Structure 1
Amino acid sequence: MSAIFVLPRQFHTAIVENRKEKHIRTAIWLFPLYMLVFNFFVFPVAWGGKVLFQNEVVNPEMFSILIPQKFGNYFISILVFLGGISSAISMIILSSIALSVMLSNNLIIPYGWLENFKIKSDTINTKTIVNIRKVSILLMIMMAFMFYKYLMTSSSLFSIGLVSFVLVSQLAPSFFGAIFWRRGTYAGALSGIIAGVLICYFNLILPNYFADIKEMAFYQDSFL
């Protein structure tokens, strides 16, 4: 649930791109309703796939494409495929833009370009910011591909999503703590984020590309 607030694309859409407070009031009830309606269609697809492919080895993530194919309706399968491609591309675009804005505004410019911006014109500064964000987007997409190619290639989409949500959820305590708890400190927030990321990395990411590590005592059911 915390991913709704701290995912880069959600944060960018809800806060950075938000221009009117009344939009938040609408999103408070419309977004949960959208999620409820959207997930309502997951159950019949999952149930139908289990029934139709109960004796076959099929990836459940492909049910929405394979079910129409089983009945010879390839047109619906193509539409589902195009819908999945469009939604994936839109997520990549929005996430890349949001992360590039965060990187340029909070890391790259304050710690490397701030002095140059003070002595140059606004036109040059604007072009520089745009170029920084373009390069950031390119590097992030390349890093994401390398991460998937060499670390998560054998994992399912569900597993990758789970790892992503758990990792980004480490920002939630600091995010909500900054809003509701005034006694929180920078050192405490940073320590909590680092500790959470390390724990998630050791328990969720390492087992994906070191098969032997699952044999360690830490990963045995009896230990957990």
Structure 2
Amino acid sequence: MQYDQTMDAKDTFMRTALFRDLGGESLARLAEGSRRLEVARGEHLFLEGDEGRDIFVLAEGGIRLYKLAEDGQETTVKLVEPFEAFAEIAFFDDGRYPVSAVATKYSVVQAVSGTAFQALLGDRVFRGEFISTLIGRIRYLSQRIHYLTAYDVEQRFFRFLYEQCGASDTCKLEIPKKEIAAAIGTVPETLSRLILRLRERGDIEWKGSRIRVRDGLWEEQGYPRGGGAE
């Protein structure tokens, strides 16, 4: 069977939050205007300050977005997961990438050129669908800001556990700690300090991928037994 790159790209865009609410015709046009890039581990897609020529969607692998301080220290801004769009801000800001992007492993991305994207925005149907998607994303970000400001990191950690495993005494998380940190809106170093503090208090035991929660803790946190994940 011959490999159909356009269909593969369309499937990737359909699974990406920024584009998945577009209609079938708009998705097809987006896929036709994209190209597939393979990126080796450690290879950069772009550097901070480069001209923003493309919008990217990660189809496979992992991409780290970071900023470089004057002293040469790198600060990770985001770890991009498969089916996430990134670098789109360059088209709505000053036209330059505000961060650098490097592959953390072998990765495949779909790149949509700025020229192709601008042409698509000239189409009334595509423009209307895309604006609707952006409004939905703004609504999500507003909810995310509320989540980050209304709960401290410990509350967000237990909320995350509850969403994953419910009010269970034992939770199995086969997720890297850096991803857990990103999910609760913090950095791995802060998560490590939190875990140490919770262990010292006797609130949790963490061995391998299994977390055991102290008896009575869920009730103290205000979570009902039997709720949360299935």
TM-score above 0.5, yes or no:
no
* Bigger relative CO (Cα 8 Å, ≥ 6 apart): 1
TM-score (norm 2): 0.26
Higher strand residue share:
2
TM-score (norm 1): 0.27
Whose Rg is larger? 1
Higher helix residue share:
1
